[in-house]
């Protein structure tokens, strides 16, 4: 590869890594963490945290159709739309509606789309409100019972799928020690040497086994489990996860830096 092109690709990777590994918000009553490992030098997965004026934390995770540089460019476009929408919208549903309105035409021109899941977490009431644009529902682990609970489904087409979409919301009440695990396809579709998939059941079991740990430690547990399963086989898709962990006591949580594999 031409050296100047390689240099530009590395620069693009550094920019993307910096944006994804931005400042993680700290708040009382819980913590969040996120991690993304691209299948290639740069990827199309996206996650973000946005502290709102009302004290809530807005969380988003997404997966751009495609891989490599084109997907990364669309990921940056999506990030800009999310940040802009987060400043001026009332909730996750309105946020997804605004994002679709902002980038629909661009996505149609490029014949692409983005799946997104957006949620607002209120540390004071422990209410988790969310909207979905064609993405996987996060996994909800009930900490005190150490069992999986299913989030109520909320329908919504992927961003870039149809114009003038209005995204609806659902809400649930979280309890102390609960964990909400957001993820992209790359985790459950990771393959081993026998071409078997990692699958949702294995992910669920790993989360239940690590439930009593802090958010960053649970994240590392999942990463370790994927690595052990794939036995070093190169990943075909970006692997991205976000965790929200709820605590009982109001304690100051220090920023967590995502582990790098």
For the ranges 42-56, 116-130, 145-159, the lowest mean pLDDT is seen at: 42-56
pLDDT in tens, 201-214: 999 999 999 999 99
Name the residue with higher pLDDT: 22 or 255.
22
Q: Say whether pLDDT at 126 is over 90.
A: yes
The CATH topology of domain 27-246 is Phosphatase 2c; domain 1 (3.60.40)
Structure-model confidence comparison of residues 181 and 27, the more confident one: 181
Cα distances (Å, whole numbers) of residue 197 to 36, 53, 78, 259, 261: 19, 42, 29, 24, 20
Residue 249: pLDDT band with limits 50, 70, 90: low
Structure token pair of residue 9: 């690709």
- Residue ranges covered by each domain of the chain: 27-246
Residue 256: the pLDDT is 43
Quote the pLDDT of residue 213: 93
Query: Tell me, what's the pLDDT at 260?
Result: 41
Predicted confidence at residue 58, as pLDDT, reads 96
What is the arithmetic mean of pLDDT over 83-88?
A: 93
Residue in 68, 67, 98 with CA at minimum distance from that of residue 83: 98
pTM, two decimal places: 0.90
Place of tokens 């240099």: 7
Show the DSSP H helices in the chain as ranges: 3-20, 68-88, 92-109, 185-188, 199-209, 215-230
> What are the pLDDT digits (tens) for 137-187?
999 999 888 999 999 999 999 999 999 999 999 999 999 999 999 999 999
Res. 192: pLDDT tops 50: yes
């Amino acid at each position: 590869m031409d050296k100047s092109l390689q240099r530009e690709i590395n620069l693009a990777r550094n920019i993307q890594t910096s944006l994804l590994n931005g400042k993680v918000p700290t708040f009382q009553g819980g913590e969040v963490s996120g991690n993304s490992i691209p299948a290639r030098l740069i990827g199309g997965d996206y996650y973000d945290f946005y502290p709102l004026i009302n004290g809530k934390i807005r969380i988003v995770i997404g997966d751009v159709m495609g891989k490599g540089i084109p997907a990364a460019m669309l990921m940056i476009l999506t990030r800009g739309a999310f940040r802009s929408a987060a400043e001026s919208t009332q909730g996750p549903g309105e946020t997804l509606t605004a994002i679709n309105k902002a980038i629909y035409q661009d996505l149609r021109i490029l014949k692409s789309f983005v799946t997104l899941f957006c949620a607002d977490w209120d540390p004071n009431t422990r209410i988790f409100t969310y909207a979905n644009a064609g993405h996987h529902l996060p996994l909800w682990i009930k900490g005190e019972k150490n069992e999986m609970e299913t989030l109520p489904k909320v329908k919504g087409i992927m961003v870039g799928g149809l114009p003038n979409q209005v995204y609806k919301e659902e809400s649930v009440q979280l309890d102390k020690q609960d964990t909400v695990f957001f993820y992209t396809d790359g985790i459950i579709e990771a393959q081993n040497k026998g071409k078997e998939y990692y699958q949702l059941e294995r992910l669920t079991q790993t989360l239940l086994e690590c439930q009593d740990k802090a958010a960053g430690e649970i994240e590392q547990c999942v990463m370790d489990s994927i690595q052990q399963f794939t036995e070093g086989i190169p990943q075909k898709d970006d692997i991205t996860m976000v965790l929200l962990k709820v605590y009982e006591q109001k304690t100051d949580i220090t920023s967590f830096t995502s582990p790098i594999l």
